[in-house]
Amino acid sequence: MVGRDDVARWLADYAAVVHENAAELTELDRAIGDADHGSNMDRGFAAVAALDPSGFDDAAAYLKKAGMTLVSTVGGASGPLFGTFFLRLGGAWPAEDGDAAGLGAALRAGLDGILARGKAEVGDKTLVDALAPAVDAFDAAAGEGLGAALSAAAAAGAAGRDATVPLVARKGRASYLGERSAGHQDPGATSMALLLDSAARALPG
């Protein structure tokens, strides 16, 4: 279903999207953080995009290496969190003949890794606010096939990103601002929504 070369298309697409949006991601982080989210993500995904997919036996090994690369090249909160996501995604990635439900289980393993590592809940104004509803939406649509599930996940992720605007941050640097964090879109939720959008575009329907 979704093999190594599909994953390579996804990661290359996302690296390009992050690069194009790096300035905007950094501006979002300037408002409620330390103005480095775009450069953090751009550095990490440039390193991921530089991996040679043909050096990996399968999608699972490739995704795990992508996760380790993010952990080692990106400092701050987002490196370990996106890194854990890809490590867990690779650890649970379905066999090539798997179905959409198998991919949903892998996405949920990625989410669970982020929750275990960062201890955020939905509503804390973090990337979890984009990813958690996306995984739920994926599962709900998985019976309609992979393309439908990925589209549903991307739409739910975008809605979750938008819903971070009025929230008061309770995790990460933005939480230091307290009530003053309200009225700003969370940078990590923005980059997570872009990742889901990229998956819907680059992975096979």
CB of 63 closer than 8 Å to CB of 75: no
Q: Does 33 bind Mg ion (CB under 5 A)?
A: yes
Q: Does 186 bind Mg ion (CB under 5 A)?
A: no
Instruction: Name the residue number minimizing CB distance to ligand ADP.
Output: 188
Judged by CB under 5 A, the stretch of 15-23, 33-41, 53-61, 158-166 that binds Mg ion is 33-41
Q: Which of residues 27-46 bind ligand ADP (CB under 6 A)?
A: 29, 33-34, 36-37, 40
CB of 35 to Mg ion, least distance (A): 7
Q: Does 36 bind Mg ion (CB under 5 A)?
A: yes
Tokens describing residue 87: 């490590």
Backbone angles phi, psi at 111, to 5 degrees: -60, -45
Q: What angle do CA 200, 129, 34 make, to 5 degrees?
A: 105
Q: Does 121 bind Mg ion (CB under 5 A)?
A: no
Q: Does 173 bind ligand ADP (CB under 6 A)?
A: yes
Judged by CB under 6 A, the stretch of 6-14, 45-53, 91-99, 170-178 that binds ligand ADP is 170-178
- Alpha-carbon torsion, ordered 112, 166, 181, 86, to 10 deg: 20
For residue 161, CA distances in Å to 101, 129, 140, 175, 182 come to 24, 6, 19, 17, 13
C-beta closer to ligand ADP: residue 81 or 155: 81
CA 53 to CA 30: how far, in whole Å? 34
Q: Which of residues 77-116 bind ligand ADP (CB under 6 A)?
A: 77-78, 81
Q: What angle do CA 152, 42, 135 make, to 5 degrees?
A: 20
CB of 138 closer than 8 Å to CB of 169: no
Site string for ligand ADP, 43-82 (x = CB under 6 A): ---------------------------------xxx--x-
C-beta closer to ligand ADP: residue 4 or 171: 171
Report the amino acid identity of residue 157: G
Q: Angle at which helices 37-49 and 59-73 pack, to 10 degrees?
A: 140
* Residues making contact with ligand ADP (CB under 6 A): 29, 33-34, 36-37, 40, 76-78, 81, 118-120, 126-128, 171-173, 186-189
